[in-house]
Amino acid sequence: MNLIFNMRAHTPSMQKQALSTILICMAGFTTLPASAQFKGGARPPGLNAPASVPFSTPAPAQTAPAASPSASSTQSRSVDAIVAVVNNEVITRIDLAQRAKIVERRIAAQNVAMPPREQLEKQLLERMISDRAQLQLANDLGIRIDDTLLDRAVAKIAEQNKLPVAQFRTEIERDGTPFPVFREDIRQEITLQRLREREVDAKIQITESEVDAYLSSPTGAKALQEVNLAQIVVRIPENASAEQITERRARAEEVMRQLRTGADFAKTAVSFSDASDALEGGDLGWRNADRLPQLFVEATAELKQGELSKVVKSANGFHILKVVGRRAVAPGQANGAAVTVQQTRARHILVKVNQVVSVADARRKLLDVKERLDNKASKFEDLAKLYSNDLSASKGGDLGWVYPGDTVPEFEKAMDALKPGEVSAPVESPFGVHLIEVLERKSDDVSKERQRLVARQAVRERKLDEATQEWARQVRDRAYVEIRADDRS
């Protein structure tokens, strides 16, 4: 059974979606935003690949002939072998083997050619080292995820899969992952996301000159096409010598030679790429040009679907890019023409769901409120001030004029279905349960302020992608790492 994580998106490739859809054990999940339903430009947390992979369920004990001393010694070395040391912690052979099993299942499910086991394990080990170094940094900074938050996150994942927690647990364990280990993986993912928010997201600064440059660029003037890129990255270590850079370039050129002679890109990415998306075949997903590094845009501008870029160098390393596809999207602003969009003025009453207030409780409460509204026994704004848990309560629940994409999908879908003057039934979103009233609608040109806001978000997305990669590289390079020879003899 394919279980889906459907929660608020953090990833830079999901700027317009409020919920990300992520396959279990393969991608990860996001933590829940803390307050109102607006995306509001700030990007709530989201997910990358899991920081660790669950241990497989121990096999039942079996009666077997007694092992000889030499066989027992060999087995002990195999099970206990240390394959890497990261600062004061170790990664063992069994850790790596267990993670490899999970990834092999995913690669098989994606119909991607399986790389040699040795290359796969090398890629996995590098990711485990990077994740371990980041988790150690989080611990040093005092970032902790308590059981209450973890329980809420797991319950939300189960809810998005439309399963009770008990049945969700059964499905997880049916896939071969012990549920306690699954929970700890989720704890680590939240921890890593909190760390990235603190160390990277909060430090991104966007200047007015950068916004101006974006708006005056061809990318900012029109965004009529999305491109799906895949990449292979040969990383350059921090403070690399000229000799190291030459060696890494030679490696990138060798990878390019293999691709030119017919090697499968996804398999080659799994085998050779140093990027965090290597195990996904290097797939970056569909993005507008404004959400890609300018280096990538320029390197692929003239390429057709299926074509490869030349080897290009960034601060992080050498990149090989493949254009997986291109597609048209709804026009934004082209040839100086203004963009006309429908705006909705709405207000709402939000009842948040927590350990004390269940979804059912919130629905019952709002059904009572709606009955009072239907009977004209009370005014919407008065009830919002009394019952709403949103910051808009002091304004009678008024959200002002809302643009498409400003709110999470559940809220927007329900709002769009209403006529002016209508009040919705209780609507559930990641933030709780809402009653929504549409006051009026209008079609208008996007204001200059709005265009600048969108431009600022696009610039932030691009800078955040690049800064996150650079930060992860620095954390990895600053850790003490010892990769040990794997003696299985």
> Helix, strand or coil for residue 374?
helix
Residues 207 and 149 in one domain: yes
Residue 15 inside a domain? The answer is yes
Residues 428 and 356 in one domain: yes
Given a contact cutoff of 8 angstroms between Cβ atoms, the answer to whether 190 and 44 are in contact is: no
Token representation of residue 333: 């602003």
Residue 68 inside a domain? The answer is no
Q: Where are the alpha helices (DSSP H) in 302-404?
A: 359-374, 380-387
Token representation of residue 163: 């399963």
Residues 326 and 429 in one domain: no
Phi-psi domain of 151 (left: phi exceeds 0; alpha: psi -120 through 50; beta: other): alpha
First to last CA, the chain: 39
Residue 470 inside a domain? The answer is yes
Residues 349 and 301 in one domain: no
Q: Which residues pair with 402 in a beta bridge?
A: 344
Neighbours of 193 (CB within 10 A): 25
Q: For residue 255, what is the domain's CATH number?
A: 3.10.50.40
β-bridge pairing 432-445 and 427-429: antiparallel
User: What residue type is assigned to position 466 of the chain?
Assistant: E
Nearest to 148 by CA among 354, 6, 428: 354
Q: Which residues pair with 345 in a beta bridge?
A: 401, 440
Task: Say which DSSP state 320 is in.
Answer: E
Element spanning 249, H or E: helix 242-260
Q: In what order do the strands lie in the sheet with 225-235?
A: 283-288, 225-235, 317-328, 312-313
Residue 61 inside a domain? The answer is no
User: What residue type is assigned to position 451 of the chain?
Assistant: Q
Residue 248 inside a domain? The answer is yes
Neighbours of 231 (CB within 10 A): 21
Q: Sign of the C-alpha dihedral, residues 180, 186, 191, 194? A: negative
Q: Which residues contact 301 (CB under 8 A, 6 or more apart)?
A: none
Q: In what order do the strands lie in the sheet with 89-92?
A: 89-92, 82-86, 481-483
What is the per-residue pLDDT for 487? Answer: 52
Rounded to whole angstroms, the Cα distance separating 191 from 378 reads 45
Element spanning 482, H or E: strand 481-483
Residues 398 and 456 in one domain: no
β-bridge pairing 283-288 and 225-235: antiparallel
- pLDDT tens, residue order, the chain (489 aa): 333 333 333 333 332 332 232 222 333 333 322 233 343 333 323 333 333 322 233 333 333 344 444 444 444 444 568 999 999 999 999 888 888 887 887 777 767 777 788 888 888 898 899 999 999 999 999 998 988 889 988 988 888 777 888 999 998 888 778 888 889 989 999 999 899 988 998 888 888 898 888 777 766 554 546 788 999 999 888 778 889 999 999 999 999 999 999 999 998 998 889 887 888 888 888 887 767 888 888 899 889 899 999 999 988 889 999 999 887 654 444 334 455 678 899 999 999 887 688 888 999 999 999 999 999 999 999 999 999 999 899 999 999 988 877 788 889 989 999 999 999 999 988 788 999 999 999 886 666 776 777 788 878 888 888 888 889 989 999 999 999 876 554
Rounded to whole angstroms, the Cα distance separating 131 from 52 reads 8
Residue 335 inside a domain? The answer is no
Q: Which of residues 330, 358, 380 is at a domain's end?
A: 330
Q: Sign of the C-alpha dihedral, residues 215, 450, 14, 145? A: positive
Given a contact cutoff of 8 angstroms between Cβ atoms, the answer to whether 184 and 172 are in contact is: no
Number of domain units in the chain? 3
Given a contact cutoff of 8 angstroms between Cβ atoms, the answer to whether 114 and 71 are in contact is: no
Residue 284 inside a domain? The answer is yes
Task: Supply the range of the domain harboring residue 213.
Answer: 1-56+79-224+448-489
Rounded to whole angstroms, the Cα distance separating 412 from 432 reads 14
What is the per-residue pLDDT for 489? Answer: 44
Rounded to whole angstroms, the Cα distance separating 454 from 131 reads 32
Token representation of residue 168: 């969700």
What is the per-residue pLDDT for 424? Answer: 95
Task: Say which DSSP state 42 is in.
Answer: S
Residues 85 and 179 in one domain: yes
> Between helices 179-199 and 448-478, what is the axis angle to 10°?
110
Residues 325 and 261 in one domain: yes
> Between helices 147-160 and 179-199, what is the axis angle to 10°?
110
> Between helices 147-160 and 165-174, what is the axis angle to 10°?
80
Q: How far is CA 474 from the centre of its chain?
A: 20
Cα angle, residue 191 at apex, residues 270 and 160 outer, rounded to 5°:
80
Q: For residue 180, what is the domain's CATH number?
A: 1.10.4030.10
Q: Which of residues 298, 330, 362 is at a domain's end?
A: 330
Rounded to whole angstroms, the Cα distance separating 396 from 411 reads 18
Residues 19 and 160 in one domain: yes
Question: Exposure of 62 by Cβ count < 10 A (0-12 exposed, 13-18 middle, 19+ buried)?
Answer: exposed
> Helix, strand or coil for residue 271?
helix
Residues 107 and 218 in one domain: yes
Cα angle, residue 306 at apex, residues 305 and 307 outer, rounded to 5°:
95
Given a contact cutoff of 8 angstroms between Cβ atoms, the answer to whether 458 and 408 are in contact is: no
Rounded to whole angstroms, the Cα distance separating 344 from 415 reads 8
Residues 136 and 35 in one domain: yes
What is the per-residue pLDDT for 399? Answer: 93
Residues 109 and 219 in one domain: yes
Q: Which of residues 429, 445, 461 is at a domain's end?
A: 445
Residues 440 and 320 in one domain: no
Residue 69 inside a domain? The answer is no
